[in-house]
Chains A and B, each alone.
Chain A
Amino acid sequence: MANVKMSKKATSIDMTAMCDVAFLLLTFFILTATAKQPEPLPVDTPASTVQTKLPETDLATITVGKGNVFFDLKGKEVRKRTLELMGQKYGVTFTEEEASRFALMEGFGVPIQNLKSVIAMTSSERNRAGVQSSIPKDSLDNQLADWIQNARLSNIEVNDKELQIAIKGDAKEEYPAIKKVMDILQDQKINSFNLVTGLRGKDF
């Protein structure tokens, strides 16, 4: 009887320490993970084998999909200042509260005249399809160019660094739409930018 019990006990391990470590690590990873921001314009980025990561700060992302263009900017202070500059240029005044809401918003794609109403919406309302269309980018009303210009100015003012531009295009997007955005960038003498891509296996 006693013999049987002994052999049973030999297979058991004390897992308390392991469990402690596991949960410690788990807590660490949960706390350091950042929640994925919802995207107002979901795009399917093409894959590439290039491994360079996008910078975390001083970055503006131009999302191009289905002919529409959305703009996103990193950094709260930079966003506030950019909004202020854009407001001055287009004669739209934003209140302090609107500015701080805008600072926490994700990317947007509306003409600045409609931006006020988008800021007032909740996050889920904003991301509903059809609510936001696109930032005007044709030659008559080139707001995209102004957004980029002002974002660069603000970033230099706030962070004292040149803003990096990333283009996030949908894989099925036709080349002229991407080229149009590149041309707008080149008109501002931005000749170096990042193209956001997905990950592809090494053996491609």
Chain B
Amino acid sequence: MAELNTGDSGGKKGSKKVRSKKQNSTVDLTAMVDLAFLLITFFMLTTSLSKPQSMDLGLPDKDDDPTKNKDVKVDENRTMTVLLGDDNKMMYYMGLLATPKVAPKNIAYGKEGIRKELLKQKQGVIQYTGNKDKGLIVIIKPSKKSNYRNLIDILDEMAIVDVPTYAIVNDYSPEERKLIGEGGADSTTPAATETAAP
């Protein structure tokens, strides 16, 4: 520690006075250095952390002319459909809804919920196709009641689990709508917009 200078205590002895004068020129820098480093840390962290993160999302071309929208046929055994409902609920099924490989069931977001299932199905699909390039296809269907956080959460899961292909699809079949508990049929949903992850 640098000495704190309080001048000479008494100055009783003449010989000590010379030494005390020397000491007078030192200042205690500890507090100053502490403060300086505190501020450095603050500015360092705020400059690098304040940059917002972002998630890339690519959507395929959308053509107004419905005849130009080609339907892509995929093996139903590879597809997993995730329905995002209201109140942070989520439901998924594998295969076709009429003849599901895994029947529709509710599942939670996060590590213990959807991620486990995604990892399991990802393995399963690769085993089934026997081809590394033909992996799991996840179809994400956000309902009207789902919020933006749900969408980001599920896209984040896709990034974590590294699902090779996923798509955001906006059209609901009546059965799916019933499953997710969204009453009222409206057909305002436009043609499917699909996302092919790189």
Which residues in A have some Cβ–Cβ distance to B below 8 Å?
8-9, 11-16, 18-19, 22-23, 25-26, 29-30, 32-34, 36, 45-54, 64, 166, 168-179, 182-183, 186-187, 189, 191-200, 204
Partner of A191, one of B33, B47, B50, B60: B60
Distance from B193 Cβ to chain A, minimum over Cβ atoms (Å):
7
A30 to B182, CA, bound (A): 53
Partner of B54, one of A47, A53, A176: A53
Q: Please tell me if the beta carbons of B54 and A194 are within 8 angstroms of each other in the complex.
A: yes
Q: Please tell me if the beta carbons of A175 and B142 are within 8 angstroms of each other in the complex.
A: yes
A52 to B37, CA, bound (A): 29
Q: Which residue of A lies closest to B160 (CB)?
A: A49
Partner of B2, one of A13, A170, A186: A13
A197 to B170, CA, bound (A): 22
A170 to B149, CA, bound (A): 8
Partner of A195, one of B46, B54, B146: B54
Q: Please tell me if the beta carbons of A175 and B150 are within 8 angstroms of each other in the complex.
A: yes
Q: Which residue of A lies closest to B37 (CB)?
A: A22
Distance from B6 Cβ to chain A, minimum over Cβ atoms (Å):
13
Q: Please tell me if the beta carbons of A26 and B156 are within 8 angstroms of each other in the complex.
A: no
A173 to B1, CA, bound (A): 55
Contact with A along B154-182 (1 / 0, CB 8 A): 01100110000000001000000000000
> Which chain B residues border A48 with CB–CB below 8 Å?
53, 55, 152-153, 155-156, 159
Q: Please tell me if the beta carbons of B144 and A197 are within 8 angstroms of each other in the complex.
A: no
Q: Please tell me if the beta carbons of A197 and B152 are within 8 angstroms of each other in the complex.
A: yes
> Which chain B residues border A19 with CB–CB below 8 Å?
29, 32-33, 36
A189 to B58, CA, bound (A): 11
Beta-carbon contacts under 8 Å, B29-68 to A:
29-30, 32-33, 36-37, 39-40, 43-44, 46-47, 49-62
Q: Which residue of B lies closest to A59 (CB)?
A: B54
Distance from B160 Cβ to chain A, minimum over Cβ atoms (Å):
6
Can you name 5 A-B residue pairings with CB atoms under 8 Å?
A19-B36, A29-B43, A52-B54, A54-B53, A195-B54
Q: Please tell me if the beta carbons of B144 and A176 are within 8 angstroms of each other in the complex.
A: yes
Partner of A173, one of B40, B110, B148: B148
Q: Please tell me if the beta carbons of B59 and A191 are within 8 angstroms of each other in the complex.
A: yes
If A19-B32, A26-B39, A29-B39 are given as contacts, then 18 extra A-B residue pairs at C-beta distance below 8 Å, sorted by A number, are: A12-B1, A15-B30, A25-B40, A34-B47, A49-B159, A50-B55, A50-B156, A52-B54, A172-B149, A179-B170, A191-B60, A192-B56, A192-B57, A194-B54, A196-B52, A196-B54, A197-B52, A198-B53
